Every structure is written in C-alpha cells, then in structure tokens.
Amino acid sequence: MTLRTSHHDGRQVLESGRVTLREQLPADCAQLAEGKPAELVWIDGIPGEGTMSAASMTVQADAAGVFQPAWGVFAIQRSEDGMAIGGIGFHGPPTDGVAEIGYDLSVSARGAGWATDALLALAEWALTRPGVRVLLATTEPDNIPSQRVLERAGFLRVADHGNLRAFELAGPAT
C-alpha cells in the first residue's frame, strides 16, 4: 500500500489504504487523557485506556518542554468515514536510534486488522525519519493478539524487557 503524508492544521497526517493516522497535538492529548473525544468521533464513544495513557505521556512531555511534534500520539481513523478506532504512537522521540511504539484499539474495532494496518503505516513513516534505526514494542506476556499484530507487521521477538515481551523492527541497512 502507498503511504501518503501531509500536514493539516499543524498535524502530521499519514494515510495508507483503509487507515488514516492523525497526529494529536498536546491540547488534544489533554482532552484525550481525561477520556474526552478531542473533536473526534470514537467508535465506542470515548478513547480506549491505552490511548488515554499515551495522551497523558504527551501532556507530560509538553509540560516538561520536551514534546517533539510527530513523536507522540496519533488517532487511528477509518479512512472511509473518519471514525476514530484507536490510538498509536511513540513513547517519545527516538533515543540512540530506537523509537518505542505502542497502540490501542477501541473494543469494537478489535479483530479486523486495524492495528496491523496502523502499525504498518506508522512503522513505514518512522523508519524514514533521520536518526531512527529500530522500532521497539513491548507487550504483556499474555497479550497474544498484540504479539500477533507485531509479527504480522514484521517485528521480530527479541530479549524480554523485564516482565514484558519485546519486539523490534529494523529499518533498511544504510
């Protein structure tokens, strides 16, 4: 699938097939962190817990003066109608060539490949950014569906990070 990138209202927007990833700015994240829709229409009415938690991380980074645009939260939207079905993004900007990625789907959107599509799009974009060599994702050991999403997106299991299963996707060799 072709990844199209653009900016709209000061936000990074990534479009790939049936998913659109729309960056959420710190003001949006402040609303999402409180479980408010942040001007999005959510399939289950409100964002999921993982999206709210990630939005809190972006709010904290902004308050600390370390927020970097495009290295926070993106809403996952169905391209056909703009319905928000989850969140995906980074735990912050890359460090030593590694960017940590996470995602969350609304309950009603699970099991239909949306997370895989969103992860493929964000990974393609991230691995073209300067200074990014590897994407890292971790899951709870019993979160088999998330581990399958990572595997379908090409991530490979690496050594555990504490009690979490870790997966990495390396960019093209340079």
Question: What is the pLDDT, as a whole number, of residue 171?
Answer: 87
**109-136: per-residue pLDDT in tens?**
999 999 999 999 999 999 999 999 999 9
Residue ranges covered by each domain of the chain: 3-130
Mean pLDDT within 25-33: 95
- What b/e string do you get for 100-129 counting C-beta neighbours within 10 Å, with b at 16 or more? bbbbbbbeebeeeebbbbbbbbbbbbbbee
- In the CATH hierarchy, which top-level class contains the domain 3-130? alpha beta
Predicted TM-score (pTM) of this structure? 0.95
In this predicted structure, the answer to whether residue 173 has a pLDDT above a threshold of 70 is no
Closest CA to 159 of 144, 135, 138, 134: 138
